[in-house]
């Protein structure tokens, strides 16, 4: 029983890591309708910014945290300008965006390797990493923080997207930029906003990952898991992405803990595919019978 509870805690904390990435990633996805594979790269850059602000500039933690998020936001917008905007202007199909995103992700990662170097950087300890203890159970401090932060980000984003005028404008732009422009929406600004928010969230995730895992050029790789989780949760649905993440985390944990860690991904992928067969739009995806 204790073992099971501990495993659930483990699962939730892995899930929060995925969720933290998934919110930013899924936001851009739901607006732009393509997988922004550069998101992992931005997370990584956020982690490096946080690291340098803390160690080279000796900034206080809160400032470094915010600074990293802002820098990440700027870079995310930069990526959009360079790699996606020209495609957007030509109404290119989503495949081209994905390839461009892959190019961007390759560029970012290797740029860091070539300049900063491939070595691992350890974050200075800002606060105690001692886990909370609940009887025989251990709950990670950073994990708890990630869980809370992803919940807050999610709530804030849902509010922003569903209940503000700007949010509606974002959704409209996602669907049809031309028609949105006719409503007087500055679509370019909207897209910048979306990428900035996505980048900001990536920056936050980056600093937290950096503290948890150290910083290295491939730290963004785990984004692939949040991609999977987001699809599983139902594409275009922010809560779906987060719930999908948590479920994926728990699922992986239980499989490792009770079946076979050697075949973990095999089993968890099979389960996900199995679920998709019965629910082809993911957990929270909106059912749309195509209207002819």
Partner 1 sequence: MEMLEMKNVTKTFGGLTAVEKVNFMVKKGSISGLIGPNGAGKTTIFNLITGIYKVTEGEIIFKGIPIQNLEPHRIASMGITRTFQNIRLFKKLSVYDNILTACHHNAGYNLIESVLRLGRFKKEEKDLRQDTENLMEIMGLAKWRDHAAHSLPYGLQRRLEIARALAVKPELLLLDEPAAGMNPDETLQLMNLIREIRDKFKCTIFIIEHHMDLVMGICENIMVLNFGRKLTEGPPEKVQRDPQVIQAYLGEGAKLGA
Partner 2 sequence: MLKVENLHVYYGGIHALKGIDISVEKGEIVTIIGANGAGKSTLLNTISGLVRSREGRIIFKGSLLRPVPHHIVMKGICQVPEGRLVFANLTVKDNLLLGAYLRKDKNIKKDLEKVYELFPRLAERQKQLAGTLSGGEQQMLAMGRGLMSNPELMLLDEPSLGLAPILVDTIFTVIQDIKKIGKTILLVEQNAYKALSTADRAYVLEQGKIVKAGKAADLIKDPTIQESYLGQKAEAGDRKSEVGF
Partner 3 sequence: GQKQEPAKEEQKAQEAPKEEAKQETTGDVVKVGWIGSLTGDQAVWGQCEFNTVKMLVEEINAQGGLLGKKLEAIGYDTRGDAMEAVNAVRRLTSQDKVVAIIGPNASGQAIPISTVLEEMKVPDIATVATNPKVTVVDGKTKPFNFRVCFIDPYQGAVAAGYAVDVLKFKKAAVLYDVADDYSQGLTEFFIKTFTEKGGEIVAKEAFKSGDTDFRPQLSKIKTANPDIIFMPYFFKEVALSANQARELGIKAVLMGGDGWPSEVLLEMARDAVNGSYFVNHVDFDDPAVQDFKNRYMKKYDRKVELNGYLAHDAFLMFVDAVKRANSFDPVAIRDALETTNIQGITGNIKIGKDTHNPEGKEAAIIKIVDGKYVFQQKYSPSK
Ligand X SMILES: Nc1ncnc2c1ncn2[C@@H]1O[C@H](COP(=O)(O)OP(=O)(O)OP(=O)(O)O)[C@@H](O)[C@H]1O
Give the separation between CA 96 and CA 180, rounded to whole angstroms.
23
Q: Indicate whether 14 belongs to the interface with partner 2 (CB under 8 A).
A: no
Q: Indicate whether 91 belongs to the interface with partner 1 (CB under 8 A).
A: no
Q: Indicate whether 163 belongs to the interface with partner 2 (CB under 8 A).
A: no
> How many residues sit in the footprint of partner 3 (CB under 8 A)?
37
Q: Indicate whether 290 belongs to the interface with partner 1 (CB under 8 A).
A: yes
Q: Indicate whether 168 belongs to the interface with partner 3 (CB under 8 A).
A: no
Listed residue (204, 286, 278) closest to 238, CA to CA: 286
Closest distance of CB 292 from partner 1, Å:
5
Q: Indicate whether 186 belongs to the interface with partner 3 (CB under 8 A).
A: no
* Residues at the site binding ligand X, with contacts judged by CB under 6 A: 289, 291
Phi-psi label, residue 59: left if phi above 0, alpha if psi -120 to 50, beta otherwise: beta
Q: Indicate whether 159 belongs to the interface with partner 2 (CB under 8 A).
A: no
Q: Indicate whether 262 belongs to the interface with partner 3 (CB under 8 A).
A: yes
Nearer to ligand X, 133 or 291 (CB): 291
| The only residue of 218, 269, 270, 274 in contact with partner 3, by rule CB under 8 A | 218
DSSP state of 122: P
Give the separation between CA 272 and CA 275, rounded to whole angstroms.
5
The counts of H helices and E strands in the chain are 12, 2
Q: Indicate whether 6 belongs to the interface with partner 3 (CB under 8 A).
A: yes
Site string for partner 2, 165-184 (x = CB under 8 A): x--xx-xx-xxx-xxxxxxx
Please list every residue from 270 through 289 that binds partner 2, using CB under 8 A: 288
Listed residue (117, 118, 113, 121) closest to 56, CA to CA: 121
Which window, 117-125, 133-141, 147-155, 284-292, contacts partner 1 (CB under 8 A)? 284-292
Give the separation between CA 140 and CA 132, rounded to whole angstroms.
6
Closest distance of CB 178 from partner 2, Å:
6
| The only residue of 265, 271, 275, 279 in contact with partner 3, by rule CB under 8 A | 265
Closest distance of CB 291 from ligand X, Å:
5
| The only residue of 1, 2, 182, 292 in contact with partner 1, by rule CB under 8 A | 292
> For 61-103, what is the HEC assignment?
HHHHHHHHHHHHHHHHHHHHHHHHHHHHHCCCCHHHHHHHHHH
Which three-class secondary structure state does DSSP give residue 235? coil
Bridge partners of 133, per DSSP, are 138
Q: What are phi and psi of 216, to 5 degrees?
A: -155, 160
Nearer to partner 2, 144 or 171 (CB): 171
Q: Residues in the site for partner 1, rule: CB under 8 A?
A: 289-292
């Amino acid at each position: 029983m204790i073992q099971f509870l501990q495993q659930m805690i483990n699962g939730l904390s892995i899930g929060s890591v995925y969720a933290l990435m998934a919110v930013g990633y899924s936001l851009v996805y739901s607006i732009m309708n393509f997988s922004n594979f550069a998101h992992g790269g931005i997370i990584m850059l956020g982690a490096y910014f946080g690291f340098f602000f803390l160690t080279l500039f000796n900034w206080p933690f809160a400032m470094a945290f915010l600074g990293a998020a802002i820098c990440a936001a700027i870079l995310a917008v930069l990526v959009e300008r360079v790699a996606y905007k020209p495609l957007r202007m030509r109404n290119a199909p989503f495949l081209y965006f994905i390839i461009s995103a892959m190019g961007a992700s390759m560029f970012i990662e290797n740029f860091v390797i070539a300049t900063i170097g491939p070595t691992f950087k350890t974050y200075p300890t800002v606060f105690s990493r001692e886990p909370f203890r609940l009887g025989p159970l251990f709950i990670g401090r950073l994990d708890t923080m990630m869980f809370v932060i992803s919940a807050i980000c999610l709530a804030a984003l849902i509010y922003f997207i569903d209940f503000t005028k700007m949010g509606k404008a974002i959704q409209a732009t996602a669907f049809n930029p031309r028609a949105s422009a006719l409503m007087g929406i500055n679509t370019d600004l909207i897209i910048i906003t979306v990428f900035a928010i996505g980048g900001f969230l990536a920056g936050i995730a980056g600093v937290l990952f950096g503290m948890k895992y150290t910083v290295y050029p491939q730290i963004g790789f785990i984004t692939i898991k949040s991609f999977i989780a987001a699809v599983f949760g139902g594409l275009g649905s922010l809560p779906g992405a987060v719930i999908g993440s948590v479920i994926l985390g728990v699922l992986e944990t239980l499989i490792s803990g009770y079946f076979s860690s050697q075949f973990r991904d095999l089993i968890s992928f099979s389960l996900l595919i199995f679920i998709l067969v019965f629910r082809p739009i993911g957990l929270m995806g909106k059912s749309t019978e195509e209207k002819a």
